[in-house]
Structure formats: structure tokens, C-alpha cells
């Protein structure tokens, strides 16, 4: 049986659940919205995708190399809300009870962990589904790697879908982001050069190396001058947005295998969190 590995962006799903579900807490006022949303999202992914293996990646910080290139990288992001941080131990407890490995490497971002796990799995002929909303992950999409969107019933994102969404192929995503920058990560691009123009340039020249070699062929004088002026910024961005897919972080297939567990294993946790809807139907064995 072919391995189908589901990789979940833990931070992304945790934050999304926190802001999507409001005013959910225990009777004594302990916030539980992010935990509930995270668990519900996991159950939905398991039901729809039927993975044979699963793992959750978490941010362990920002690599020093990226900060050396852009000191303000992600600096604009607000700190984690206290009500969200308080729920982190409960997420860890859920994953431990469900026997789903949490993978976090100090000083490394979750995207790099996801890219590394995907690369490791694909080399073993596994199918990889990555549950994430981060467009940086488009660069990892390939014949055996697709992205799962958060929206219910949304189609999987393959290479054709990446091209439809961005105008470029997965192998061009790094260069595309290097040109446009990424406001979410505080990465400035070439001023006035938007996604469509970047896609058009890469459609003509293929990649940045060829663009720089044939720069005189860029018809717009204004665009050509901007590219000359900000070439060093683009080359720097290229190094920042390229994911590191060589981290040694796989826990191995046995630990990532989905387990069939007695519902009682989760019952006390759901009771403590007062997740009444999740307690329904817990008397039968369930595949977590």
C-alpha cells in the first residue's frame, strides 16, 4: 500500500482556528476556541483525505541566515495573543493522545520542516499532501506533492493550479516571490512590480539568471531601470524565500502512521476541555 503522508502546518491551523471561532471557553473561562478548531480541522482532513501517515510541523524560530539577510524579516508580526498561547499545551496534549508526531526544530521555520519532510517522503515514492495556506509552499508542489486548502471541499493544489493562481510554475515560485516581495513576511520587492508583471517576465525569460543575462531585452525602460536598481534586493530575496528542504527531521514511517485507538483515550481530554460535540459517538473505536 502506497504511503499517503499528510503534513499539517501547525501554526497556521492554530492561528486560523483562533480567529475563526470566537467566544468558546470552559465554564471557568479557559479559552478553548483554537484547540477545538484545530481538532475539528484535523478530523475533517483525515475523513476527506484518508492519509496513511500524518505529522504536524511547528515553528521553532527564524533561521539566522534569513535574519542576516533581512533583519526585519517577519518583524512586523504582532506577538501571539495570550489567549492563544495559553492553549498551546492543550494542542500538545491532543497530539500526544492521538499519537500524531509534533515536529519542531529550534531556529527553523515550519515551512522548512514541511519542505524537508515532503522531500524525504517523495524520495521514498510516497504521496504528500500539505495542509497549509502559505504561498511559499507552492515551490514544493510537484508530481507527488500537492497542497490542501483550508476551505472545505476545496480542490487540491497541483502544479496546474499553482500556475493558474500565480501565473508561474512551482519551479519559478522562488524567483516570482523574489521579484514581488512578500508583505506578509516583511520582504520588500521591486517597487511597482506586481505579481502579473513578475509572471510575465518569468514567462519570457524562464528564471532570474536568464532575466539578468538578457536584461536589455526588457522592453519597458522604466521596468528595466527598476530591475537594474533593485537587482541586489531581488537576489537577496531569492535566498530568503527559498525553502531549506534538507533538514534531518523525519521521525520515520512507524511514528507517523495513523493509529486506531479506543475512544476512551480521548474521552477524558474532551471532557476536560468541555468539547461536548466531540464526545458524541465516542463509544466506538475511532481512527484518529
Averaged pLDDT for residues 127-134 = 95
Q: So what's the pLDDT on residue 282?
A: 66
Average pLDDT value for the chain: 93
Angle between helix 88-97 and helix 264-273 axes, rounded to 10 deg: 160
Superfamily of domain 4-166+243-287: 5'-nuclease (3.40.50.1010)
285, pLDDT greater than 50: no
pLDDT in tens, 81-108: 999 999 999 999 999 999 999 999 999 9
Strand-pair category, 181-182 with 187-188 = antiparallel
213-232 pLDDT, tens digit per residue, is 999 999 999 999 999 999 99
Domain boundaries, the chain: 4-166+243-287, 170-241
170-241, CATH topology level: DNA polymerase; domain 1 (1.10.150)
**238: pLDDT strictly greater than 70:** yes
- Residue 198: pLDDT band with limits 50, 70, 90: very high
Of residues 262 and 94, more confidence is placed in: 94
Task: Provide mean pLDDT across the span 196-215.
Answer: 97
Residue 162 · residue 173 · CB < 8 Å: yes
Amino acid at each position: 500500500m502506497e504511503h499517503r503522508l499528510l503534513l499539517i502546518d501547525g501554526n497556521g491551523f492554530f492561528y486560523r482556528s483562533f480567529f475563526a471561532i470566537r467566544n468558546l471557553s470552559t465554564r471557568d473561562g479557559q479559552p478553548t476556541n483554537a484547540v477545538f478548531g484545530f481538532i475539528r480541522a484535523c478530523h475533517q482532513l483525515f475523513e476527506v483525505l484518508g492519509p496513511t501517515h500524518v505529522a504536524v510541523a511547528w515553528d521553532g524560530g527564524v533561521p539566522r541566515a534569513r535574519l542576516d539577510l533581512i533583519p526585519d524579516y517577519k518583524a512586523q508580526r504582532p506577538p501571539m495573543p495570550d489567549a492563544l498561547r495559553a492553549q498551546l499545551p492543550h494542542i500538545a496534549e491532543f497530539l500526544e493522545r492521538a499519537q500524531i508526531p509534533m515536529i519542531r526544530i529550534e531556529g527553523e521555520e515550519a515551512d522548512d520542516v514541511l519542505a524537508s519532510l515532503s522531500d524525504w517522503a517523495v524520495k521514498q515514492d510516497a504521496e504528500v499532501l500539505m495542509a497549509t495556506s502559505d504561498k511559499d509552499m507552492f515551490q514544493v508542489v510537484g508530481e507527488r506533492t500537492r497542497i490542501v486548502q483550508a476551505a472545505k471541499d476545496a480542490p487540491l493544489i497541483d502544479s496546474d493550479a499553482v500556475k493558474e493562481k500565480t501565473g508561474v510554475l512551482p519551479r519559478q515560485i522562488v524567483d516570482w516571490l523574489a521579484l514581488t516581495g512578500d508583505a506578509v513576511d516583511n520582504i520588500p520587492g521591486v517597487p511597482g512590480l506586481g505579481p502579473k508583471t513578475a509572471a510575465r517576465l518569468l514567462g519570457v525569460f524562464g528564471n532570474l539568471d536568464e532575466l539578468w543575462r538578457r536584461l536589455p531585452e526588457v522592453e519597458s525602460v522604466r521596468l528595466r531601470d527598476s530591475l537594474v536598481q533593485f537587482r541586489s534586493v531581488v537576489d537577496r530575496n531569492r535566498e530568503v524565500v527559498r525553502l531549506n528542504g534538507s533538514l534531518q527531521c523525519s521521525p520515520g514511517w512507524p511514528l507517523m502512521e495513523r493509529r486506531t485507538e479506543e475512544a476512551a483515550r480521548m474521552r477524558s481530554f474532551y471532557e476536560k476541555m468541555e468539547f461536548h460535540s466531540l464526545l458524541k459517538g465516542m463509544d466506538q473505536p475511532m481512527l484518529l
